[in-house]
């Protein structure tokens, strides 16, 4: 009940603060100017350029300095309109057709349409005695060039990534998928930022129920601002209390295109290079785009190696703590003597020692990420070496513990996606606590709890452990290993009806059969 009242209050407050925006444009130019000037009061970068058309008709061009192309405005708008012969009166539509040679023009009739176009850099032309205006597609601002994403680099594959401009991002997808079946729906979210959000899907591949669900979850959001895709990710995921991400974020157009061709939905945001992909599975987050560019045997071995090291990054410190605390008999005698001899001067139990080293390692990792690139790598490497060596010599930690933490850190770097890596790093600490108090029984208890949680998790209705649970034999070709392309004839079945075949069968190379 309280939530409903608060929602209604939010809507009323929003309507009360800006009632002028819902008004239609008046035929009186000065009345329109009064409304716009009052709304853009104390905005020095908003330009109101007044001039005469034909020496007698008052007009004004409203734009934001820095968001609009000033050269195009001068050459293709102001110059032809101000050079109109005196005494000749034209209608607004005739002026646009005869004098303004711009490909993108749009008629607007309300104040809110004026504000929307001015805010994105499209100048608005208002003429006296006209009850409508014209928005001119002359937006222009500084854009970052397309370059390779630093967080998702590959040895073999495309070297381009999304940027902060949504028009460039949509064009990058169009370059990958040239079919008109690639559909894009746009909505705006954010009371003040009015951020453009685009839902991208393949018509005939993506389930219509999934598309409607994504659209409904986005449309019900009421928020002041959307400055990054992370704002929306937390508002549309199925289980917000889970440490595991339920949407995939990426900067790579090839990853987005590959998921679109498997029937998923991609969500683009203006102002950020990160896009969201839904639905996903646990195995989607452990796959690298390079798995599909290398030969299948190489990709399969690397993927299996990745799974092994991901398990180690989650439980290796906990197993070490459990063995030294409760299960000495499971360690070979020679190794046990070596470990205890190195721990003679260590004043802390194994659990405290592991927590100290893991927290220090995480702090060094975060410091290396946040510091400038020129010094970040040097600080993290030198800090790890110096602190680790000094701690061992001072007798605060043992050398085997440093080795275990180092192997765990290296294993955690095998996770291809940063969001999944954070989830595994978070879970490592409660597992260590359970290992310190309950031994291997505590580790098994934690693993079973995590497995149960993963079995109950959904991403837009799709089970998180697909295709293992529920078991789908055909889709196992792209789960733990990567089958050769001539074997993966079917695309994954996510939700509802779908187009099952991505390629024809019988495409295995055979030199004995000549081509036609």
Q: Which of 288, 281, 331, 249 is nearest to 157 (CA)?
A: 288
Residue position matching structure tokens 């927290």: 359
Q: pLDDT by residue (tens digit) across 442-500?
A: 999 999 999 999 999 999 989 999 899 888 877 888 888 888 988 888 888 876 667 88
Give the pLDDT confidence score for residue 379 in this predicted structure. 65
Give the pLDDT confidence score for residue 96 in this predicted structure. 82
Q: What Cα–Cα distance (Å) separates residue 150 from each residue in 147, 326, 381, 410? A: 9, 44, 19, 19
Contact 364, 357 (CB under 8 A): no
Q: pLDDT by residue (tens digit) across 2-20?
A: 344 445 544 444 443 444 4
Contact 250, 274 (CB under 8 A): yes
Give the pLDDT confidence score for residue 377 in this predicted structure. 62
Tell me the pTM: 0.87
Which tokens hold the place of 32?
Answer: 């329109």
Could you say which residues of the chain have pLDDT below 50? Answer: 1-6, 9-21
Which tokens hold the place of 434?
Answer: 């359970």
Contact 428, 318 (CB under 8 A): yes
Residues 6+ apart with CB under 8 A from 378: none
Q: What Cα–Cα distance (Å) separates residue 118 from each residue in 11, 30, 123, 195? A: 24, 18, 6, 14
DSSP string, 450-501: HHHHHHH-EETTEETBTTTBTT-GGGGGGTTS---TTT--B----SSS---B
């Amino acid at each position: 009940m309280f939530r409903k009242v608060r929602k209604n209050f939010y809507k009323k407050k929003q309507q009360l603060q800006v009632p002028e925006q819902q008004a239609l444009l008046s035929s009186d130019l000065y009345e329109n100017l009064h409304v716009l000037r009052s709304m853009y009061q104390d905005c020095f970068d908003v330009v109101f350029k007044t001039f005469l058309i034909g020496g007698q008709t008052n007009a004004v061009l409203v734009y934001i300095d820095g968001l609009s192309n000033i050269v195009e405005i001068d050459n293709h708008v102001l110059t032809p309109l101000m050079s109109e012969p005196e005494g000749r009166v034209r209608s607004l539509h005739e002026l646009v057709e005869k004098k303004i040679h711009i490909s993108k023009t749009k008629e607007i009739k309300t104040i809110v349409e004026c504000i929307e176009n001015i805010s994105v850099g499209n100048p608005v032309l208002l003429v006296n005695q006209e009850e409508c205006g014209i928005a001119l597609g002359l937006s222009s601002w500084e854009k970052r060039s397309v370059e390779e994403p630093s967080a998702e680099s590959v040895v073999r594959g495309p070297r381009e990534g999304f940027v902060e401009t949504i028009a460039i991002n949509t064009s990058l997808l169009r370059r990958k998928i040239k079919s008109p079946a690639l559909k894009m729906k746009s909505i705006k979210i954010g009371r003040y930022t009015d951020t453009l959000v685009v839902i991208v899907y393949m018509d005939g591949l993506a389930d219509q129920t999934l598309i409607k669900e994504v659209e409904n979850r986005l449309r019900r959001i009421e928020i002041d601002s959307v400055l990054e895709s992370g704002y929306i990710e937390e508002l549309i995921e199925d289980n917000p209390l889970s440490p595991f991400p339920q949407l995939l974020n990426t900067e790579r157009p090839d990853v987005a295109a590959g998921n679109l061709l498997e029937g998923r939905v991609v969500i683009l945001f203006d102002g950020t290079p990160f896009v969201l992909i839904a639905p996903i599975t646990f195995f989607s987050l452990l796959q690298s785009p390079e798995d599909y560019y290398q030969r299948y045997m190489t990709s399969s071995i690397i993927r299996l190696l990745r799974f092994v090291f991901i398990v180690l990054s989650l439980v290796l410190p906990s197993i070490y703590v459990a063995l030294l605390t409760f299960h000495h008999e499971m360690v070979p005698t020679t190794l046990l003597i070596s470990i205890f001899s190195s721990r003679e001067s260590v004043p802390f139990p194994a659990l405290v020692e592991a927590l100290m080293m893991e927290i220090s390692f995480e702090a060094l990792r975060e410091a290396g990420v946040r510091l400038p690139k020129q010094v970040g790598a040097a600080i993290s490497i030198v800090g790890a070496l110096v602190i680790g060596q000094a701690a061992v010599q001072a007798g605060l930690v043992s050398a085997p513990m440093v080795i275990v933490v180092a192997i765990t850190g290296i294993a955690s770097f095998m996770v291809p996606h940063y969001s999944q890596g954070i989830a595994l790093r978070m879970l490592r600490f409660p597992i260590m606590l359970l290992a310190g108090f309950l031994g291997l029984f505590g580790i098994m208890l934690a693993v079973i709890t995590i497995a149960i949680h993963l079995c109950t998790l959904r991403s837009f209705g799709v089970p998180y452990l697909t295709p293992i649970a529920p078991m789908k034999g055909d889709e196992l070709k792209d789960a733990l290993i990567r089958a050769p392309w001539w074997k993966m004839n079917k695309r994954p079945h996510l939700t509802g009806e779908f187009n099952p075949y991505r390629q024809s069968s019988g495409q295995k190379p055979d030199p004995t059969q000549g081509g036609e």
